[in-house]
Amino acid sequence: MPKGQTVLPDWINLDCAAPSEAHRESALARQAQLTKPLGALGRLEEVAVELAALQAAERPGADRVPVVLFAGDHGIAAQGVSAYPPEVTVQMLHNFAAGGAAISVLARSLGCPLEVVDVGTLADGPVRGVISDKPRRGTRDFSVQQALTPEEVAFACDAGRRAVARQADHAPDLVIFGEMGIGNTTSAAAIAAALLPCAPADIVGSGTGLDADGRARKAAAIGYALTRHGLTAATPVAEVLAAVGGLEIVAMAGAIIAAAQRRWPVLVDGFIVSVAALVATRLNPSCRPWLLFSHRSAERGHALVLEALGARPLIDLDLRLGEASGAATALPILRLACALHNGMATFAEAAISGREA
């Protein structure tokens, strides 16, 4: 298929329902009646109201929250853009499955089911405890050629949708997506640099722990790729994904849209998931209301992506691990927001004088 004709699955364009304004108004009215000064709980009030609208519920919840982690490898890693070798991705698959990774611990502590999906690692066979749903082993080096074919981009989108469908048995209150893949901050930065657009040096961060020379090498590789593939602000999103995308990033973009189409809120993790969210909102703007943002990453480009999304993250703890760790860390805040909204007494119930007009 010639360049410029990457065709995504038709379902990508299906509209997502709007949040329930009736439930938003009801939640706002309840907040005004609770035994506290109006607005005294700040963002906790806002989050509870937002979840009520998204879930179309009088009493919102954040108890049933599956976590899906997508893993993929990147040919651009051959250009020395990561402090770790590519084999770490597959090694981490085993760590996730064995319960030793950060997100494994967090999910277990929070009572969240964790699914790990290999959508494009270099693993040449099945990994116990990991679902394999991939069109190829790793992307191509996008400094040399297109990272993905149109068919591989479409496959990864569908893999994201399939992963979302598997979570239906959990009847989610919301969902969390995460990622793992050596070289994926480079792919994410390249996508963001093309879509925002911005200079690679403005979006490139330390990733797995690069020093200044490593960051410069990473920015140069991205700048060269943007020029080589002729990527500009006018390039269709699907073509950007084919040129410099990662299979796990494409899968997460598909998963975000698919979740929103099911009326499931998505608690967005850090830089790489936020880039996937940027892709998703460019492909299907109607998914944007279904995104809640967990944290501001220490990765340099995250602030630019959040600004482009009009997002206000809940926490800022200098996290930059990825693998959904920031979203999982923020989840208790959503749970507490719901508990306060649902469980506090109203002025009338507590026989306390309300605010004077």
Q: Residue 345 in 3-state DSSP?
A: coil
Rg of the chain's alpha carbons, rounded to an integer? 21
| Max intra-chain CA distance, the chain | 71
SS3 content of the chain, % helix, strand, coil (to 5): 50, 10, 40
* 75 touches 141 (CB < 8 A): yes
Q: Mark 149-159 as b/e (b = at least 16 C-beta within 10 Å).
A: ebebbbbbbbb
Instruction: Kindly list the catalytic residues.
Output: 323
Identify whether the C-beta of residue 158 lies closer than 8 Å to the C-beta of residue 254. yes
Q: What is the DSSP letter of 19?
A: P
Residue among 248, 297, 216, 279 at smallest CA distance from 136 = 248
Please state the φ and ψ torsions of residue 271, each to the nearest 5 degrees: -55, -50
Burial of 344 (0-12, 13-18, 19+ CB in 10 A): middle
- Do you know the residue count of the chain? 357
List the structure tokens of 63.
């108890």
How far apart CA 26 and CA 339 sit, in angstroms, is 16
Measured distance CA(231)–CA(217) in Å, rounded: 19
Angstrom distances, CA of residue 344 to CA of 31, 32, 201, 252, 338: 9, 12, 48, 36, 10
In 3-state terms, what secondary structure has residue 112?
A: coil
